[in-house]
């Protein structure tokens, strides 16, 4: 059941990449919606605790019954990935926002994740990007800046909080390339995601308990936010992302995330009536061109 690199090329349906990339962009950008619903009712630590706990508990029966028997070494390795890709990544941004780093700046840095992955993929994986792919990466980054420009600000947070946002992005990028580099330690996606979520829940639970009560707010908005974050923000986003990492080059997979900022703004317009701007559409066009150059072929 453990996945290893195939010895012969595997033919895939030509629609597999665009379909999976579309699912990734929609689910990855949807996290904003769940946070928007739930964050008015609870602290970020409590929100992340219940998000990861519910995700892990729902997956736990399937992780125990479906798939290979879990060995202690595999569990420990997956827990390490959980610390990196769930606790340090999500928790780092949450702490930075709590220290009053402007949300727009945090979002911009997190959306530059594909750039960090592209930089790390060469020395760690030996996956060299062509000149055209680097040009596409630069174009996509420019599009992200255009989309995010109106919401950018420096704020008054301490210097370490700004460094934390960059560090969180780099940690997740490192987890991504390591996940690709060590195929012999991979588990089926539902087992990996279960361990990652429960690891994050244990750590976020300690943070939430230190801040106060672990009891969830019994409100409609919090319930909607949790359902959204568990189904779309966790199962769909992380599940599709990890699956694509097993099928396609890591820099190509992460490049699709450049489209998250403009799609997030479409979510905001559709659900919260936030206005659409000319800059958003211009940035979307530039980003689409960059992602196309980076991923085609």
- Residue 11: pLDDT over 60: no
Q: pLDDT at position 94, please? A: 78
Q: Nearest-CA neighbor of 279 among 89, 105, 132, 152?
A: 152
- Residue 184: pLDDT over 70: no
- Residue 144: pLDDT over 90: no
> What percentage of the chain reaches a pLDDT higher than 90?
16
Q: pLDDT at position 162, please? A: 82
Does residue 26 sit in helix, strand or coil? helix
Which region, left, alpha or beta, applies to residue 136 given φ > 0 means left and ψ of -120 to 50 means alpha?
alpha
Beta carbons of 112 and 144 less than 8 angstroms apart: yes
Rounded mean pLDDT of 174-203? Answer: 84
Which range has the top average pLDDT, 78-92, 125-139, 190-204? 190-204
Distances (CA, A) of 291 to 141, 143, 201, 297: 9, 10, 34, 12
Beta carbons of 104 and 153 less than 8 angstroms apart: yes
Q: Nearest-CA neighbor of 253 among 78, 89, 85, 20?
A: 20
Cα–Cα distance between 76 and 203 in angstroms, integer? 15
Q: pLDDT at position 2, please? A: 36
- Residue 169: pLDDT over 60: yes
Mean pLDDT of the chain: 81
Q: pTM (2 decimals)? A: 0.81
For the chain, which residues make up each domain, given as ranges? 16-295
44-96 residue pLDDT tens:
888 899 999 999 999 999 999 998 888 888 888 889 988 998 999 888 877 77
- Residue 9: pLDDT over 50: no
Q: pLDDT at position 256, please? A: 84
Residue bearing the bigger pLDDT, 280 or 217 = 217
Which range has the top average pLDDT, 25-39, 203-217, 250-264? 203-217
**The token pair that represents 62 in the structure block:** 């399937």
Rounded mean pLDDT of 1-30? Answer: 69
Please report the DSSP string for 226-285 in residue order: HHHIIIIIIIIHHHHHHHHHHHS-HHHHHHGGGGHHHHHHHHHHHHH-PPP-HHHHHHHH
């Amino acid at each position: 059941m453990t996945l290893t690199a195939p010895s012969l090329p595997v033919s895939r349906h030509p629609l597999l990449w665009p379909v999976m990339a579309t699912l990734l962009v929609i689910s990855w950008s949807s996290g904003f919606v769940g946070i928007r619903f739930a964050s008015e009712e609870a602290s970020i630590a409590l929100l992340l605790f219940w998000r990861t706990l519910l995700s892990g508990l729902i997956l736990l029966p399937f992780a125990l019954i479906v798939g290979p028997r879990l060995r202690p070494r595999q569990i420990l390795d997956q827990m390490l990935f959980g610390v990196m890709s769930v606790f340090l990544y999500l928790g780092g941004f949450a702490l930075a926002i709590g220290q009053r780093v402007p949300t727009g700046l945090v979002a911009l840095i997190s959306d530059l994740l594909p750039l960090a992955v592209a930089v790390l993929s060469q020395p760690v994986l030996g996956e060299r990007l062509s000149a055209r792919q680097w040009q596409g990466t630069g174009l996509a980054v420019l599009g992200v800046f255009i989309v995010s420009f109106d919401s950018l600000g420096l704020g008054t947070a301490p210097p370490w909080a700004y460094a934390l946002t960059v560090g969180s992005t780099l940690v997740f990028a490192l987890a991504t390339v390591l996940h690709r580099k060590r195929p012999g330690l991979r588990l089926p996606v539902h087992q990996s995601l279960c361990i990652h979520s429960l690891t994050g829940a244990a750590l976020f639970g300690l943070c939430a308990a230190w801040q106060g009560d672990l009891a969830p707010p019994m409100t409609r908005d919090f319930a909607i936010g949790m359902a959204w974050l568990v189904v779309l923000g966790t199962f769909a986003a992380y599940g599709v992302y990890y699956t694509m990492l097993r099928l396609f080059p890591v820099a190509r997979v992460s490049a699709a995330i450049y489209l998250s900022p403009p799609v997030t703004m479409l979510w905001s317009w559709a659900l919260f009536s936030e206005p659409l701007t000319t800059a958003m559409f211009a940035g979307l066009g530039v980003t689409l061109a960059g992602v196309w150059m980076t991923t085609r072929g």
